[in-house]
Structure 1
């Protein structure tokens, strides 16, 4: 039997909390990304970039709402500025 790693909104919030973000238990992926972007510091930016790379490049399946929130909010906020 195959078991797939699945990252849902709860897993996503937990990963952000592990980076030091305070997330309400009922935060949607969009709200979690918004809070993460508001709380960006240089250190958190690096850690968040690594987390996003790990999630997008790994074998886990991201639920569509999580993937969309990352694409719409986190990726643009993590692009290095000249």
Structure 2
């Protein structure tokens, strides 16, 4: 019997909460909430979480990957751009 590590919406919400973000709902809603009001500290933590997820061996379920790609990453990029100006 094979056992695969999967990152589902509940895992994502748990990781975001562990970083101190107050999130609920589905992955997309949680990612949208997480990028609202970013500061340097939580943006760095969020970036680290995404890097860990993407470089780890666990399989990220499609809804979670889509939420990260469409909400978290653009939000982090917008925050970075805002910091440069």
Return structure 1 stretches of 4+ with deviation > 4 angstroms: none
Question: What corresponds to 2:11 in structure 1?
Answer: 11
Normalised by the length of structure 2, the TM-score is: 0.87
Count of residues in correspondence between the two structures: 80
Q: Note the residue ranges of structure 2 that are not aligned, 5 or more in a row.
A: none
Equivalent residues of 1:6, 1:60 under 8 A apart = yes
Bigger share in helix: 2
Matches within 5 A, 1:3-82: 3-24=3-24, 27-79=25-77, 80-81=80-81, 82=84
Q: Note the residue ranges of structure 1 that are not aligned, 5 or more in a row.
A: none
Shift of 1:40: 1.3
Task: Give me the CA root mean square deviation.
Answer: 1.1
Name which one, 1 or 2, has greater alpha-carbon Rg: 2
Normalised by the length of structure 1, the TM-score is: 0.90
Question: What corresponds to 1:2 in structure 2?
Answer: 2
